[in-house]
């Protein structure tokens, strides 16, 4: 029914989410704002997390057009203290969530460290969500869903459990991004395995190529060069030129996996363009075409990442 040009409104057409509670991280811009807006517009009670609350309030107010404001709370995924404090507040409130969409993230940053000394992209995209979501796991209602925003960028690189912080590996922005996005997929695989007995399913999704604040660390020249590289690969393979998705098209797979898709279909899987990706290949392909690398879905690999992540954050889940 749906594909790469489907929008959030296409996916949610005719669906009433009244009575459903949803948590979305990263609601200060881009996909997070549209995801929260679309779910709220269809009746869901949405709680949004953002590092900059003032920015999130402005963005959501503009998106909702005077409709009732969603609940907001502060969450800085680059700080384990912030992740734990935010989780503690939610646990104290005790309200259940039917859906959690881990949308927040960073991409292609310069060599930076989180507040806890982790490489910024792995620390923010993976370890921050790993800690926060595992802490609030008791708040996910039976039969609920977790959606992790991953990326076709996972094909840039597998996780490196021996050197997650680039202490011995030369840092390269997209290599680090690829590691963090592979980690997002592996986290969904292992979270799904651990919690499916009570009907909680987890999926990873690739939203597609969208022009949002996620690319703020890239120059216009670097972004154009990346698009040219992808188009060259597509032309050589006989494919169509790359086109950016709109934000509503980019957020469609998130809401599809969270609300529309059969839980048994998406649980522990990687989705894009509003369907589960069936093509699993090691062939060299461009960063936007469909497909998921086998290492990103390997259950043993997912369990090893979980153990390494617990060691890094100093907490067992």
Sheet holding 201-206, edge to edge: 71-74, 45-50, 21-25, 97-102, 140-149, 201-206, 270-272, 275-276
Among 159, 180, 185, which residue's Cα sits nearest to residue 292?
185
Name which of 1, 63, 54, 3 is nearest 31 in CA terms.
Answer: 63
Active site annotation includes 177: yes
User: Which whole-number Å values give the CA distances from 309 to 148, 238, 313, in the listed order?
Assistant: 16, 41, 6
| Positive or negative torsion for Cα 230, 126, 32, 220 | negative
Q: What is the 8-class DSSP label of residue 4?
A: T
Structure tokens at 117: 């000394």
Contact between 246 and 31 under an 8 Å Cβ cutoff? The reply is no
CA distance 303 to 300: 5
Q: How far is CA 169 from CA 131, 180, 187, 272, in A?
A: 25, 15, 23, 31
Among 171, 177, 270, 295, the active-site one is 177
Element (H, E) at 203: strand 201-206
Question: Across the chain, which distance is largest between two alpha carbons, in Å?
Answer: 56
Give the residue numbers annotated as catalytic, written as ranges: 177
């Amino acid at each position: 029914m749906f594909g790469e040009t489907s929008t959030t409104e296409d996916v949610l057409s005719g669906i009433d989410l009244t009575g459903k509670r949803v948590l979305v991280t990263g609601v200060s811009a881009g996909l997070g704002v549209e995801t929260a807006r679309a779910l709220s517009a269809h009746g869901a009670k949405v709680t949004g997390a953002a590092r900059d609350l003032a920015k999130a309030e402005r963005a959501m107010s503009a998106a909702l057009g005077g409709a009732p404001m969603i609940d907001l709370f502060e969450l800085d995924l680059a700080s384990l203290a912030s992740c734990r404090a935010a989780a503690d507040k939610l646990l104290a409130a005790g309200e259940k969530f039917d859906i959690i969409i881990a949308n927040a993230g960073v991409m292609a940053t310069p060599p930076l460290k989180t507040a806890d000394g982790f490489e910024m992209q792995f620390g923010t995209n993976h370890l921050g969500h790993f800690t926060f979501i595992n802490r609030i796991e008791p708040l996910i209602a039976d039969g609920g869903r977790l959606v992790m925003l991953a990326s076709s960028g996972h094909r840039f690189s597998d996780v490196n459990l021996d050197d997650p912080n680039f202490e011995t590996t030369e840092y390269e922005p997209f290599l680090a991004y690829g590691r963090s996005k592979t980690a997002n997929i592996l986290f969904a695989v292992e979270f799904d395995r651990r919690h499916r007995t009570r009907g909680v399913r987890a999926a990873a999704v690739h939203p597609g190529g969208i022009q949002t604040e996620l690319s703020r660390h890239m120059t216009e020249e670097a972004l154009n060069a990346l698009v040219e590289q992808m188009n060259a690969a597509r032309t050589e393979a006989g494919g169509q030129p790359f086109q950016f998705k709109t934000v509503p098209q980019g957020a469609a797979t998130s809401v599809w996996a969270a609300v529309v898709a059969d839980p048994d279909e998406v649980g522990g899987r990687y989705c894009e363009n509003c369907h589960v990706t069936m093509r699993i290949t090691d062939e060299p392909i461009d960063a936007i075409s469909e497909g998921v690398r086998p290492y990103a879905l390997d259950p043993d690999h997912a369990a090893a990442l979980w153990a390494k992540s617990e060691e890094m954050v100093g907490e067992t889940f």
